Amino acid sequence: MKGESSGLRRMDWVLVAAAAGLVLIGTVAVMSAASPMPRYTQILQRHFLALALGALAFVFGTSFNYQIYQDQARILYGVMIAMMGAVLIVGETVRGHRSWIHLPYFSFQPSEMARVCTVLVLANYLDRREKQIERLSTALGALAIVLPVVGLIILQPDFSSALIFFPVLASMLFCAGASLAQLAALTAFGAVTGGLLLLWTLSSLHPEIERASAVAAYAVRLSRSGGLLALTVGGAFAAAYLAYRALLILRFRVALVHFVAGAAVLSSALCAGVLVNRHIKYYQRNRFISFLAPEADPQEAGYNVNQALVAIGSGGVSGKGIFSGTQAQLGFLPERHTDFIFAVIGEEMGFLGAASVLGLYVLLLSRVVRAALAARDRYGYLVCCGIASMFGFYVLVNVGMCLGLLPVAGIPLPLISYGGSSLVASLWAVGVVSSVHSKRYAFI
C-alpha cells in the first residue's frame, strides 16, 4: 500500500488532467459531429470501446518501467515491422488504403502504434550511440530504422501517416546532440522533395510557369523523364567531385564524404519527389491544389478547407452550442468527426472552446518537456522528446489545415479525433511519459 501511495504521489497529475480534458472535449465533439450520420450508434460504441482500451493502454504505459522498452527494443522493432507487413497481406482496404487489420469487434491500424514504437526504438539507438552522435553514420543508422516503416506505410498507400516520421526523426536527432550539418541535410531533403511536389502541382494549374522559367521547365521535365532524372543524379555526383578537387587545388583541407553526402541528399530528394509524384492519387494531389489555389476548384479540391473556414468563422466567441453547428449538423463539413473535428469545435464551442483545446495542448506538451528534463537517464529524455515532437507536429498540421495555412493531410487531432487506433496509441504514449516522470530521481 505504501508503494502504491508513493507511486500515485509521483505521478504528474497535471499531465493526466490535460490529457483527460482533451479526451473529454473530443468525446463531446465526436458525439455532436457524428450525430447526423446513419452509423451514429456504431460510431459511439466504437469510440467508447476505444476509450476503455485507451485507458488500459495508459495504465499499462504508466505501470511498467519505461526502461523495459529499451531492453526489448529489437523485439519491439521486429513486431512493429511484422505488423506493418501483415497489414499489406491481410489488411482491410478502407477508402483506398490497405491500412486496417479487422478484428472481431473493431478494426486496428498498425501505423498508429508504429509511430509510438518508432520513438521508443529510435531513443534506444540514439542513447547507445551517444559518443558517436555527431558522426554521419549515426544519422544514417537512424534513417535506416525509420525508412522501412515509412516504406511499408507508403505501400498502403498512406502518405499522410508516413509524413509524421521525418519531423520526429529530425527533432530526436537534434535533442540527442546531432551536428547541425546532419539536421540541415534532413531539412534540405524534405524541402527539395516537398518543393518539387508543390511546383509540379502548381505547374499543372498554371502551365505558363513552365514557359516563364528555365529552371521550372527543367524541373517539370524531370518529373516525366527517367533518363533526365538519371542524368541529373549523375551530374550531381560529378559536380560534387569536381568541387572537391577544385578546393584541394586551392589548398583547402576538405573531406570528400561531405560532398558525396550533399550529392546523395539532393539525389535522394529528387528520386523521392519523382516517386511520390508518379504514385500520388488524384484526391491527394487535390490537397496540394486546395492549398496552393483554393479558388481554382472551390467545389472539389478546396471544398473541405472552405467549409472548415466557414465553420470556424461562424462560431464567434462562444460558439453556436453543442449539436447546433450548421456546417456539422447539416453535413456541409466533410470528415467532421475525424480530420476536421477542430472546425466543429470552433463552430460549436467558439473561440473559447478552440482556445481551450490549444491551451490544453500547450499544457500537455509543457509537461512532456518537463518530464524529459527530469528524466533519470538519457533514454527517458529522448523518449519524451520524441513523443513531444510527435504530438506537436500532429496538432500543428491538423489545426493548420483546418485554418487553410497548410495542405490538407489525413492526420487526426490526437486525443480528440474519432479513431480508436489513434486514441489508444496516444494514451499509451501519455502513459509512457507518465512512467518517465514517476521514475525520475527527484521532484522538480
Q: What is the 3-state secondary structure (H, E, C) of 260-286?
A: HHHHHHHHHHHHHHHHHHHHCCHHHHH
Average pLDDT over residues 210-239: 78
Element (H, E) at 100: strand 97-102
Residue 9's pLDDT is: 62
Residue 5's pLDDT is: 45
Per-residue pLDDT at 341 exceeds 80: yes
Gap between the terminal Cα atoms of the chain: 24
pLDDT band at residue 393 under the 50/70/90 scheme = very high
Q: What is the mean pLDDT of the chain?
A: 83
- Type of residue found at 30: V
User: 93 versus 44: which is more confidently predicted?
Assistant: 44
**How many beta carbons lie within 10 A of that of residue 249, not counting itself?**
7
Residue 443 domain-assigned? no
Residue 423 domain-assigned? yes
The percentage of residues in the chain with a pLDDT greater than 70, rounded to a whole number, is 88
Domain that holds residue 344: 2-438
Q: Confirm if 354 and 338 have CB atoms less than 8 A apart.
A: no
C-alpha cell at 52: 476503455
- In whole angstroms, give the CA distance from residue 122 to residue 143: 9
pLDDT tens, 358-367? 999 999 999 9
- Lowest model confidence (mean pLDDT) among 164-168, 186-190, 317-321: 186-190
Residue 117 domain-assigned? yes
Annotate 195-220 with DSSP letters as a single string.
Answer: HHHHHHHHHHH-THHHHH-HHHHHHH
User: 105 versus 426: which is more confidently predicted?
Assistant: 426
Average pLDDT over residues 47-74: 91
Residue 18 domain-assigned? yes
Residue 188's pLDDT is: 82
Residue 250 domain-assigned? yes
User: 268 versus 388: which is more confidently predicted?
Assistant: 388
Residue 444 domain-assigned? no
Number of domains in the chain: 1
Helix, strand, or coil (residue 108): strand
C-alpha cell at 23: 479526451
Helix, strand, or coil (residue 375): coil
Annotate 134-159 with DSSP letters as a single string.
Answer: TSHHHHHHHHHHHHHHHHHHHTTT-H
Element (H, E) at 168: helix 165-176
Beta-carbon contacts of 361 under 8 Å, excluding residues fewer than 6 positions away, are 18, 22, 391, 395
pLDDT band at residue 444 under the 50/70/90 scheme = very low
- In whole angstroms, give the CA distance from residue 178 to residue 37: 49
Residue 280 domain-assigned? yes
pTM for the full predicted model: 0.85
Average pLDDT over residues 405-410: 78
Residue 369's pLDDT is: 94
pLDDT band at residue 4 under the 50/70/90 scheme = very low
pLDDT band at residue 181 under the 50/70/90 scheme = confident
Q: Confirm if 139 and 173 have CB atoms less than 8 A apart.
A: yes
Give the angle subtended at the CA of 52 by the CAs of 50 and 53, to the nearest 5°.
Answer: 65
Q: Chain centroid to CA 395: how far?
A: 9
Residue 358: phi, psi to the nearest 5?
A: -65, -35
Per-residue pLDDT at 103 exceeds 60: yes
User: 54 versus 184: which is more confidently predicted?
Assistant: 54
Residue 14 domain-assigned? yes
Helix, strand, or coil (residue 92): strand
Residue 101: phi, psi to the nearest 5?
A: -105, 120
